[in-house]
Amino acid sequence: MKRSLLKQLSCPYCGTGYDLSTVLTEDEEEVHSGILECDCGHFPILSGIPRLLLDDLTIPILTRLEQHDENAALAIALDWPSFGLLKAIQRKLSRILFRFNRNRLTDILVRMKGPMLQVIRDQQVKFVDMVSTLESGFWGEWLKYRFGMEPFLPIYALTTTMTNHGYVLEVGSGAGHSTFVLSRFIDGTHIIGTDNTFSFLYIAKKYFVPKGNYVCLDANNPLPFPNGFFSHVVCSDTFQFINSKIALANETKRVMHDDGHIIFSHIHNNMFVHEFAGRPLSPAGYYRLFEDLHVRIFPNQELTTDLFTHNRIDLSRCWTPESLNAFEGLSLIAAKNDSTFCLHQDPWKRSLACIKTPVINPAYSVKLEHGRYSISRRKMSKEFSKLQQVTSIDMADQLDLRDIEPTTAYLLDLKEQDPEYFLKLMRKLVIIDVPAHYI
């Protein structure tokens, strides 16, 4: 992270600003590793990412940085999330053992992570190959197919309404899929992605938006940014997992420009039961959090139908809490003025201009048979399929697919030579735009 941005940060625990007490590696004002100091303690910077957490790993990481052992510090911080019970137990146990901060024990635990760390840190491995190598099961499918999953689609619609001015904060960046979509409309150097899982941000920086800025933090605590610092605050498929929702809602208002917008894409409705529901509110509850602003909540399916079917984003419509009770997935926009609540025409024109790396959606398999390419839907695991996360991809069944080559070069040429057909494939999610080293 650049020194200029580090100076903007304040400690979420004591509220004081940070001093850069130790710099181990930096390059042209970019601090890659070091230690931040405030009134209540010290916090590490690893791979350019400040880690503003007080947990079992903080002291062992700081100890290794003080010993100028950056590789060991990074190895302690990196982990691979998994929904599997055994891996979850192993991860929890290692965190407990790291708490003792004994050099020999720490060395053993770091060596045990060796194969996983080698894959995550390998600069030559593509994102999808990395996920497959780590045998992540359900979690791996979630990461590979995320760009076409139904809960993800509203962010495509809402980002087309954003304007590129000032910094944009993303709360809950995860591995960086939504951060990447933001970067197609907002200069990556003006995006600050946050998450409480350091490994996610490391992957986001490596694969999705390398020029972005990232801060590892707990969004239940005060945000470490100045008042009015951001033109937009975005939170995609995350808010329902925040315990202190009123605190985060108030923090997003505090750090937003007077002419800024708060965008919460895909928030769960507590009128429905969901396997990964988090702690959602009712539509009326979400409205109450932002009742001091202009706020509107939309059903996800209305936003996605607008974009993928009608080529528009109609934010002028008003939905009452009662009318929203019938919808499982919702999205919220709040602002201090109501200028954005209008009909946005032809959002695909702006989207197509930003596409750089089109690929065939990895939810499809492409085979070369008898000199022709054929596309068929890939078989998902039962665990992943039962969530009906990729039902939106079924829209491709309604399209007569031509014989197209599954290469980015061919698809870019198709975009120029036959933009109408290219757009049809985009709107059916057969073609998606991905980072350069995704697949």
Helix 419-427 and helix 347-354, axial crossing angle in degrees, nearest 10: 100
117-144 tens-digit pLDDT: 888 888 999 999 998 888 667 788 889 9
Which is nearest to 307 in space by CA: 146, 151, 431, 154? 154
Q: Binning pLDDT at 50, 70 and 90, where does residue 254 land?
A: very high
Q: Is the pLDDT of residue 394 over 60?
A: no
Q: Binning pLDDT at 50, 70 and 90, where does residue 107 land?
A: confident
| pLDDT for res 392 | 45
| pLDDT for res 29 | 81
Q: Which structure tokens are listed for 180?
A: 């990447």
- Say whether 113 sits in a helix, a strand or coil: coil
27-65 tens-digit pLDDT: 988 999 999 999 999 999 999 999 999 998 999 899 999
Q: Binning pLDDT at 50, 70 and 90, where does residue 393 land?
A: very low
User: Could you give the dihedral angle defined by the CA atoms of residues 278, 283, 285 and 287, in that order, rounded to the nearest 10 degrees?
Assistant: 130
Q: Is the pLDDT of residue 150 over 60?
A: yes
What average pLDDT does range 139-158 have in this prediction?
92
Every domain of the chain and the residues it spans: 3-122, 145-349, 355-433
Whether 432 contacts 439, CB under 8 Å? no
Q: Whole-angstrom distance between the N-terminal and C-terminal Cα of the chain?
A: 27
Burial of 118 by CB count in 10 Å (0-12 exposed, 13-18 middle, 19+ buried)? Answer: exposed
Q: Is the pLDDT of residue 303 over 70?
A: yes
Distance, CA of 9 to CA of 7 (rounded, Å):
6
Instruction: Please check whether the domain covering 145-349 is classified as CATH 3.40.50.150.
Output: yes
| pLDDT for res 88 | 65
Q: Is the pLDDT of residue 85 over 80?
A: no
Average pLDDT, the chain: 89
Q: Is the pLDDT of residue 216 over 90?
A: yes
Q: Is the pLDDT of residue 395 over 60?
A: no
| pLDDT for res 402 | 63
| pLDDT for res 47 | 96
| Backbone angles phi and psi of 81, in degrees to 5 | -60, 145
- Say whether 221 sits in a helix, a strand or coil: coil
- Say whether 265 sits in a helix, a strand or coil: strand
Q: Is the pLDDT of residue 92 over 80?
A: no
Whether 92 contacts 98, CB under 8 Å? no
Q: Is the pLDDT of residue 389 over 60?
A: no
User: pTM above the 0.95 mark?
Assistant: no
In this structure, the number of other CB atoms found within 10 A of the CB of residue 400 comes to 5
| pLDDT for res 28 | 82
Helix (H) or strand (E) segment spanning residue 344: strand 343-345
Distance, CA of 32 to CA of 74 (rounded, Å):
11
| pLDDT for res 101 | 62
How many residues appear in the chain?
A: 439
Q: Binning pLDDT at 50, 70 and 90, where does residue 322 land?
A: very high
